[in-house]
Amino acid sequence: MTVKEIMAQLESLGSQQIKNILLKHGVKEPFFGVKVGDMKPIQKKIKKDYQLAKDLYATGNADAMYLAGLIADDEKMTKKDLQTWVKSAVSNNINEYTVPWVAAEGQHGYELAMEWIDSKEPHVAAAGWSTLANLAALRPDSELNIASLKALLARVEKNIHTAPDRVRSTMNAFIISVGSYVVPLSAEAIAAAKRIGASAAIDYIKKAKDRGSLGKKKKTVKC
């Protein structure tokens, strides 16, 4: 499929009702308002396509950018590719999901995430924290820098209350992910959440423990 064909298909799948909902959740124009479920047949047909994903993302259309993340060949994505993507990821669904998914499932996720969380641009910082959360959910504990993650929990605890709204949200997601997927830091994450006053994070981690899924990693973070 070509970019032109996919864009025409996405436009035909768009809905003003879905668009209105997404606008309220921080998705920015231009986009058609396509349900993620309606993108899945296109994803299934294409599977992975490095160049097509980059070309779709470059349209600047939030629906196309989301689909680009689903079909991206993560291992082929370069640092330059990911830096280009994060700079233009102004929609919340792109900076909190699409870019972090692709970064975390590729080769450069940790390095770039540590850079992004220092950004003064909230959408870049949010992408950084989301990438770190995804890495915690994906990578075996043996492949994670446990000391670094522990230090990041402390950083979140110190800065979360003064962070911009969406950065604060992704910091909270980071605590939940570390607490739920990184067994050596589960207690640390709960303690940090208690001091912050993040009761929802505590409940989420405890539920993971109660259902016996604590530390069970994801095969993919894309959905």
In our burial notation (b when 16+ CB lie closer than 10 A, e otherwise), range 194-208 reads eebebeebbebbeeb
Q: Quick one: 28 and 2 in the same domain? A: yes
- The pLDDT, as a whole number, for residue 98 is 98
- Reported as a pLDDT band with limits 50, 70 and 90, residue 208 is very high
Asked whether residue 217 falls in the same domain as residue 165, the answer is yes
Q: Which of 21, 55, 72 corresponds to the end of one domain?
A: 72
Tell me the CATH number at 212: 1.25.40
Please check whether residues 37 and 127 belong to one and the same domain. Answer: no
Domain enclosing residue 38, as ranges: 1-72
Q: Is there a contact between 97 and 139 (Cβ–Cβ < 8 Å)?
A: no
pLDDT the model gives residue 165: 96
The model's pLDDT over 3-59, given as tens digits with 9 standing for 90+, comes to 999 999 999 999 999 999 999 999 999 999 999 999 999 999 999 999 999 999 999
- Assess whether 101 and 191 both reside in one domain: yes
pTM passes above 0.85: yes
What DSSP designation does 223 have? -
Tally of domains in the chain: 2
Looking at 72, 89, 114, the residue that finishes a domain is: 72
Same domain? 94 vs 64: no
Cα separations in angstroms, 2 against 11, 59, 171: 14, 13, 37
Out of 40, 55, 72, a domain closes at 72
Both 84 and 173 in a single domain?
yes
Integer CA distances (angstroms), 33 to 21, 36, 117, 211, in order: 9, 9, 29, 35
Residues 108 and 203 reside in one and the same domain = yes
How large a percentage of the chain has pLDDT more than 90? 100
Are 178 and 200 members of one domain? yes
Q: 169 and 148 share a domain?
A: yes
- Residues 135, 183, single domain; the answer is yes
Query: Does 221 share its domain with 175?
Result: yes
Residues 97 and 163 in one domain: yes
